[in-house]
Structure 1
Amino acid sequence: MVAPPGGSPGPGQRGGSRTAGPGPGLRLWQRTEAARAALRRRYWATVPARLRLLRAATVLLTAGLVTLLLVAGLAALGTWSSVADRDAPRTTSAADLNLALNDMDAQAANILLSSGDAGKGRLQTPYTKAVGFYGDARREIGHDLRTLAVAAQGSKADENTVESLTDDFAEYQELIGRALENDGHHGGKPAALADYRRATDLLRTQLLPAASNLVSSNDAAFEVEYSSARSTLSAQLTAGLALGVLLLAVLGVLQWYLARSFRRILNPGVLAATVCTLLAVILGSEMLSASADHLRVARHDAFDSVVALSRARAIAYDANADESRYLLDPERRDQYEASFLAKSQELYGLKGATLSTYDSELATTWKAYRADHRDLRFTGEFRRELDNITFPGERTAAEKTVDTYAVYQRDDRKIRALLTAGKEREAVEFCMDWQPGTSNAHFEAWMAALDKVTAINQSHYASNVSAGRAAVNDLLPWAGSALLAAMALTVLGARPRLVEFR
């Protein structure tokens, strides 16, 4: 057999040894690496790619900070609207209802006590004032019930409470109306007193507990809203500062890269963007921190005192009514005397004190407090207020309230002493008259002092609500505008350098 010319392989060598090409795995890896290299060249490996990446990061961070501040600002405004238009009004309406119920019952007792026998022997001035105050209290209750009915929508428990209050109040009015009608008849005092007893029992067992529960539930709902809002503001402030610092860092890197790559000291556009961003971070942080601070002052420094003082006023009216009930109803005098002492303890609590020792212990503990404000040997609503002194003039007004309260307490002992001495007519006149030096005149002075403290706290509550809203309305537009300007300046500052590579 002749070999193939040129050394060509024979038939037996066909399909023999051959260099193998790359496998599928190797080809995939090569394509991936090629794609990565292309991405690096496009997005990072070249100068324009790095500039575009830094510009995009700046724009995205700026947009994120704008969005955060906008959301935070709108949420803060929503919180202020809830506080001013819902949470606080429904709490104060419940407190006002509690006060008006006590006042209405007190004035009903005063009418019966001063009316005489079908007008004979009537104490004209006390009777006329009691009739007027009774009508005012009844109208106030109607208004408060309507307000609370609207505020209770969405809370089944509160809706049921307000509905029950409305029904019970209708029954209470019917009983009082019957008592006043019977009192207008000659010899009708016993029947009138029986109806009044039923009415005041309904008040004590049904109306007042329900009204007090509304105060507590609405105040608790306000506290939940406050805590949630404060927590959200704190989180937003932290997030805003973090985003702001990151944005400033990226702008710093962009400025450094431009200076390094193009042999220039500063890029005016990026420098201006950095200044705008810094201004926006400062304004945004101030907006959020100011909102949180104003919310704290409005809620705890001011409104907590408003609630405590509103409770104190309602208790005061109920205690004053107990004096009238004590004179009106001989069969229940022990009950009303104990009730008066219990309410006194709620206002200015003295452990173990009785009516015979209360005045001296009040004088001793109050003198100790005036000498050293850390010497607090008493409890109650007055203590709650004195523990929360915050605003100019508040301490002086609060101390004046306790001073006038002490005078009123001494009047109560005089009323009981006159009655014990058999001078019932004198006791009634001293209790109900409005002449200077009488119990009602001193009670009015006490309420005026209490109202002054309340007004101080209400004023600061309102001013902090207004300032909280203003902080958002005034600072948010400037912060947002500064960030939008920073975004535009960053794009404009980088644009001339990118054009050089086209």
Structure 2
Amino acid sequence: MQRPGPGLRRQAGAARAALRRRFWATVPARLRLLRAATVLLATALAVLLTVAGLAAHGTWDSVAERDAPRTTSAADLDLALNDMDAQAANILLSSGDAGKGRLRTPYTKAVGFYGDARREIGHDLRTLAVAAQGDRSDEKTVEHLTDDFAEYQELIGRALENDGHKGGKAAALADYRRATDLLRNELLPAATTLVTSNDAAFEAEYSSARSTLDAQLCTALALGVLLLAVLGVLQWYLARSFRRILNPGVLAATVCTLLAVILGTQMLSASSGHLRVARHDAFDSVVALSRARAIAYDANADESRYLLDPQYREHYEESFLAKSQQLYGINGATIDTYDDQLAITWRAYERDHHDLRFTGEFRRELDNITFPGEREAAEKTVRAYAVYERDDRKARALLAAGKEREAVEFCMDWKPGTSNAHFGAWMAALDQVTGINRAHFDASVREGRAAVSGLLPWAGGLLLAAVVLTGLGLRPRLAEYR
């Protein structure tokens, strides 16, 4: 290959020298290069913050309008299914023989609660059907749930119709057993699956959003530091080249950039922090407490089933104890020893909040105490639960003593001191601690959105101002070379 001649080498050298003079070797060239670097870095930072802000807004929309509602709807469905079945048992327990010997107040309340639960299930199924669109697994689960619920309603309707006929209690009980088997084998497992899958989807979106925000924060800091460094070099070069201490335009641009970096990083870190509070500090407790409420209604239904169906009493007693262990798990406890061991382990916790000798949904909540008033409300809930558990043992003792009607009245009446009254107090306490966490979840969503909408426009405006001020500050210096 022939080497280029001296003439070509001289031309190439002259071209390189011209490029150096144009882009770096002369003072105007250096000023233009630093100005271009400032514009590019400021634009890149502004674009990054805008993209991050829009993504954060989208995340908050998903959290508030899709992820949280579909998880709580699935938990509400679980609860309403248990409540509907419990109220069906209560209707059969309190109805008497075709109305003869009816316990009027318990019967009226059970009929009302039954209708409320049925309407709630219909609403939750519609909500979950919309939320499941695009997820074939969840779509199939909701479809099966809807079909099974229709069959369940038919069986309960037949049981209630038979119960309205004189001597129809046995036929009604047979239909109720079939309905309850369908509930336990199909409806409740499907509802639990939806709670788990929707909560897992929420967690996956949360993890992805947090990772993205952390990466965006690091990138924004790097771009911000680089932009401030370029402005610092520009200020130093102006002072050196023009014998001036400071250039007012570049100084103002530096201040604007510093404020923009502070506001932008604050927006990203605040979004990440509010997202963590919403998801883990607040919503984890909401899920645990929603599960606890659904389990509580199922346990209460087991108590009614125990009174209603003598043939299955041993099974329902075991089921009630299993639910109790899910709420407040005590290793090795039986139905006869549970109350004493609950009292012992709870006293140990009250002496030392780190001495947690129990498991279950209440333990999950007590491990996640975050907000003012939350611990007191959670402890009140456990104490109310202990009262309800003692009531269960009293009802079983009445039944064992042959006082069946007294046991039914104690469990189903709403007078002060009865089991239903204490169950209502327990649910009110549970609602209080759930309400604390829901309120902080909602507040985190509001504050997360406010951080984006409040800080992003300021950060973007300051970066634009920095670009303009840099141009204005350099304009008189560049004019000297025209």
Aligned to 1:110: 90
Alpha-carbon distance between aligned partners in 2 of 1:222 and 1:475, rounded to the nearest angstrom: 26
Q: CA deviation at 1:31?
A: 2.5
1:66 aligns with one of 43, 46, 56 = 46
Aligned to 2:302: 322
Alpha-carbon distance between aligned partners in 2 of 1:333 and 1:231, rounded to the nearest angstrom: 52
Aligned to 1:305: 285
Q: CA deviation at 1:43?
A: 0.5
Q: Is residue 50 of structure 1 aligned with residue 27 of structure 2?
A: no
Deviations 1:119-168 (A, max 9, x none): 00000000000000000000000000000000000100000000000000
Alpha-carbon distance between aligned partners in 1 of 2:421 and 2:11, rounded to the nearest angstrom: 98
1:240 aligns with one of 192, 195, 220 = 220
Structure 1 residues 199-210: aligned runs within 5 Å: 199-210=179-190
Aligned to 1:174: 154
1:39 aligns with one of 6, 15, 19 = 19
Structure 1 residues 243-322: aligned runs within 5 Å: 243-322=223-302
1:155 aligns with one of 135, 139, 142 = 135
Q: Is residue 138 of structure 1 aligned with residue 127 of structure 2?
A: no
Structure 1 residues 84-123: aligned runs within 5 Å: 84-123=64-103
Task: Using the TM superposition, name which of 331-340 and 22-31 deviates more.
Answer: 22-31
Alpha-carbon distance between aligned partners in 2 of 1:158 and 1:482, rounded to the nearest angstrom: 46
SS at match of 1:412: helix
Q: Is residue 464 of structure 1 aligned with residue 444 of structure 2?
A: yes
Alpha-carbon distance between aligned partners in 2 of 1:320 and 1:455, rounded to the nearest angstrom: 22
Question: What amino acid maps onto 1:486 in structure 2?
Answer: A
Alpha-carbon distance between aligned partners in 1 of 2:61 and 2:130, rounded to the nearest angstrom: 16
Question: What amino acid maps onto 2:173 in structure 1?
Answer: L
Structure 1 residues 258-407: aligned runs within 5 Å: 258-407=238-387
With over 3 angstroms needed to count, the CA separation of the structure-2 counterparts of 1:25 and 1:428, relative to structure 1, is farther
Q: Is residue 75 of structure 1 aligned with residue 55 of structure 2?
A: yes
Alpha-carbon distance between aligned partners in 1 of 2:7 and 2:136, rounded to the nearest angstrom: 69
Question: What amino acid maps onto 1:46 in structure 2?
Answer: T
Q: CA deviation at 1:32?
A: 2.2
SS at match of 1:24: coil
Alpha-carbon distance between aligned partners in 1 of 2:319 and 2:232, rounded to the nearest angstrom: 72
Alpha-carbon distance between aligned partners in 1 of 2:182 and 2:5, rounded to the nearest angstrom: 90
Deviations 1:430-454 (A, max 9, x none): 0000000000000000000000000
Q: CA deviation at 1:291?
A: 0.3
Alpha-carbon distance between aligned partners in 2 of 1:29 and 1:500, rounded to the nearest angstrom: 34
Rg (Cα) greater in structure: 1
Q: Which runs of 5+ in 1 are unaligned?
A: 1-21
Task: Using the TM superposition, name which of 31-40 and 366-375 deviates more.
Answer: 31-40
Aligned to 1:416: 396
Q: CA deviation at 1:34?
A: 1.6
Q: CA deviation at 1:500?
A: 0.4
SS at match of 1:356: coil
Question: What amino acid maps onto 1:224 in structure 2?
Answer: A
Question: What amino acid maps onto 1:339 in structure 2?
Answer: S
Aligned to 1:198: 178
Alpha-carbon distance between aligned partners in 1 of 2:250 and 2:435, rounded to the nearest angstrom: 52
Q: CA deviation at 1:25?
A: 4.7
Alpha-carbon distance between aligned partners in 2 of 1:394 and 1:83, rounded to the nearest angstrom: 23
CA RMSD of aligned residues (A): 0.8
Alpha-carbon distance between aligned partners in 1 of 2:11 and 2:399, rounded to the nearest angstrom: 108
1:496 aligns with one of 473, 476, 482 = 476
SS at match of 2:337: helix
Q: CA deviation at 1:23?
A: 5.9
Identity %: 82
Q: CA deviation at 1:26?
A: 4.1
Q: CA deviation at 1:30?
A: 2.8
Alpha-carbon distance between aligned partners in 2 of 1:240 and 1:118, rounded to the nearest angstrom: 74
TM-score, length of structure 1 as denominator length = 0.95
Question: What amino acid maps onto 2:123 in structure 1?
Answer: H
Aligned to 1:4: none
Alpha-carbon distance between aligned partners in 1 of 2:378 and 2:241, rounded to the nearest angstrom: 69
Aligned to 2:9: 29
SS at match of 2:435: helix
Q: CA deviation at 1:35?
A: 1.3
Alpha-carbon distance between aligned partners in 1 of 2:450 and 2:77, rounded to the nearest angstrom: 32
Aligned to 1:426: 406
TM-score, length of structure 2 as denominator length = 0.99
Alpha-carbon distance between aligned partners in 2 of 1:36 and 1:452, rounded to the nearest angstrom: 76
Alpha-carbon distance between aligned partners in 1 of 2:181 and 2:83, rounded to the nearest angstrom: 15
- Deviation beyond 2 Å, 4+ runs, structure 1: 22-32
Alpha-carbon distance between aligned partners in 1 of 2:118 and 2:342, rounded to the nearest angstrom: 34
In the alignment of these two chains, the number of paired residues is 481
Alpha-carbon distance between aligned partners in 2 of 1:135 and 1:320, rounded to the nearest angstrom: 18
Question: What amino acid maps onto 1:236 in structure 2?
Answer: Q
Aligned to 2:203: 223
Alpha-carbon distance between aligned partners in 2 of 1:457 and 1:28, rounded to the nearest angstrom: 77
Aligned to 1:17: none
